[in-house]
Chains A and B, each alone.
Chain A
Amino acid sequence: MDILNTILQGVLVGGLYALFAAGLSLIFGVMRLVNIAHGDLIVLAAYIAMEVIKLTGLPPLAALVFVVPVMAAFGYALQRGILNRTLGGDLLPPLLVSFGLSVILQNGLLAVFTADSRKLDAGALETASATIGGISIGLLPALMFATAVAVIAGLQYLFYNTALGRAFRATSDDAEIAELMGLDRRKVYAWAMALCLGVVAIAGVFLAIRSNFDPFMGPGRLIFGFEAVIIGGLGNLWGTLAGGVILGVAQGIGASIDPGWQILAGHVAFLLILALKPRGLFPRMDG
């Protein structure tokens, strides 16, 4: 029963990793951009949620009503103001600019909020659980997983059933032809980044409820998200969810052997899949 429990908890945590990864997968799909500051933006969302809660007294999940639009607007501005200028054939500018952004975000958060670790208090939700067949399932992890499924289903719907999704896919396939058809690629990219940071906002709030956070935990989240994307296969959103689950389970099994092995086991699972199936388990798109 113990091992079953470990796996189940890992699956549920995998939902959070899929939330870290979904935005990464989205912007890579639309504009081939890998945003090194992605993890730091998740942490930024957590701090914004903290401030919103301080000002309004809302419970953390309700604070999403403010955090999601704020982050989305920030994403739109970030893409139009900075990142759009770096896009072209060359790989270096977007990578290095987002790396600079990552350092700025970390140290900016440090300057404003100090290095103290924080946590959002979600009250009874954090401890509530249901016991099914001898296995106890926390309400929060279950909610996290359900949210991940909902977000990915939502993105999937948006991609294949809306005008915006059509614009995303067209720009992804061939940006120049898409522009000939009257799309403004800078705007399409900005909307993609807005959407990405909307998802990042959700990920940030769940992260902040589940565990402590501090200005420097961004890179670790970026790496988890990245591993989930690669395990699942580039460009496949449901694959990304599967990748998050595999990562979560691997970490859970590692932790049950030795707490020091938790993160390492996740990395090892990632490297194994990279060695055996370099294109991920469910590839859909070429890198």
Chain B
Amino acid sequence: MTQFTLSSFSISRSTTASRIAGAIALILLAILAAAPWWASSAFLHLAGEFAVYLALATLWNLLAGYTGLVSVGQQAYVGLGGYLTFSLALFLGVNPLLAIPLAGLAAALIAIPVASLVFRLQGAYFAIGSWVIAEVFRLIAAQATALGGGSGISLPAAVTKQLGAKWLREASIFWLALALGAGCLAFVYLLLRSRIGLALTAIRDSEVASTSLGIRIGSVKHVLYILVAGLTAMIGALISLQKLRVSPDAAFSVNDWTAFVIFIVVIGGIGTIEGPIIGTVVYFLLREFLADYGTIYLLLLGTLAIVIMLAAPKGLWGYAAERFGWSLFPVGYRITFPDSGKD
């Protein structure tokens, strides 16, 4: 048994892998930010979509993986963001780009009363309750005749022009997607490294134990739900500008904005920051190869999610992290002993 004195170890919050990963991420971000000058519009479109799914998965993972709030109704805020953006642009003449943060703010305000309703439901019933909310939003949107009712509405050319000519429009929507994707990732990373993050990780590991240590689980969850709602609505706002159209069935689609997102997180690894990234990569790879098969592709995704949940519940990244001790986004504290030589 080795004796340690206080000076014989040091505490670090990063690993060699995480420093390299951080540097690579920044370089990658810089290269991507220049993409409008070197890439085709098809690439910009795909990369924008990638960023959207990465952001949605990261946020859903923050709720489900860290606070146990499994929502099957995040499409409520995706659709709300789109509809709010269109309303602001069409009725108040707000520039669509400026409408994105406003839509996020408005959705966060709407999420306050919604949260106090759905938080009355526990566990799995919360999941279905959140779905009911999304259905209510969808049905209300379908009644909004000024926004095209059930068939939806396209952004009029006059409003689209405010976004600039084709190149500028595509570039700014891409930059926004990149900013939201990277922003959500950074938000979750910094949040988890903060005091709240410590509380969240404690809640994830044991609700009972964290309550006994004085963490107010209820209010932490509440605040987080509202923050995530606002950010999800900003992503929804962006999606509506990518598509230049909103319709109730597409904007509030449970398949597009929740089912795929859940599969991404489950496959990549729930409760880790890296999981949603890996999951999004796997999802896009599968989609590129299998999307032509339509229903078979969805059958495969569903089966893969079930198999992973049963065989490796922590997903691909959780499995790798456990085996090899990898961590690209370290949020904990590591103690290093000089004589043990291990990171």
Number of interface residues of B (CB under 8 A): 41
For window 297-331 of chain B, which residues contact chain A by CB distance below 8 Å?
Answer: 298-299, 301-303, 305-306, 309-310, 313
The reply to whether A223 and B135 contact each other, CB–CB distance below 8 Å, is yes
B143 within 8 A of A: yes
The reply to whether B72 and A99 contact each other, CB–CB distance below 8 Å, is yes
A270 within 8 A of B: yes
Q: Which residues of B contact A36 (CB under 8 A)?
A: 72, 127-128
CA separation between A89 and B40, bound complex, in Å? 49
Give the one of A102, A103, A227 with max B CB within 10 A.
A103
With A34-B124, A230-B121 known to touch, is A99 a contact of B132 (CB < 8 Å)?
no
Q: When the two chains form the complex, which single residue of B68, B120, B127 contacts A278, counting CB atoms closer than 8 Å?
A: B120
CA separation between A225 and B310, bound complex, in Å? 27
Q: When the two chains form the complex, which single residue of B121, B143, B259, B298 contacts A99, counting CB atoms closer than 8 Å?
A: B259
Contact flags A246-285 to B (C-beta < 8 A → 1, else 0) = 0000000000000011011001101100110010000000
For window 265-300 of chain B, which residues contact chain A by CB distance below 8 Å?
Answer: 266, 270, 295-296, 298-299
B7 within 8 A of A: no
A62 within 8 A of B: no
With A107-B299, A278-B120 known to touch, is A223 a contact of B306 (CB < 8 Å)?
no
A101 within 8 A of B: yes
The reply to whether A230 and B303 contact each other, CB–CB distance below 8 Å, is no
Number of interface residues of A (CB under 8 A): 43
Whose C-beta in chain A lies nearest to the C-beta of B296?
A111
B163 within 8 A of A: no
Q: Which residues of A contact B299 (CB under 8 A)?
A: 103-104, 107-108, 111
Contact flags B117-132 to A (C-beta < 8 A → 1, else 0) = 1001111110111011
For window 77-96 of chain A, which residues contact chain B by CB distance below 8 Å?
Answer: 82, 85-86, 91-96
Whose C-beta in chain B lies nearest to the C-beta of A115?
B295
Whose C-beta in chain A lies nearest to the C-beta of B139?
A264
CA separation between A271 and B301, bound complex, in Å? 33
CA separation between A47 and B70, bound complex, in Å? 30
B56 within 8 A of A: no
Q: Which 7 A-B pairs have the closest CB atoms?
A: A34-B124, A103-B302, A278-B120, A287-B122, A104-B302, A100-B306, A100-B305
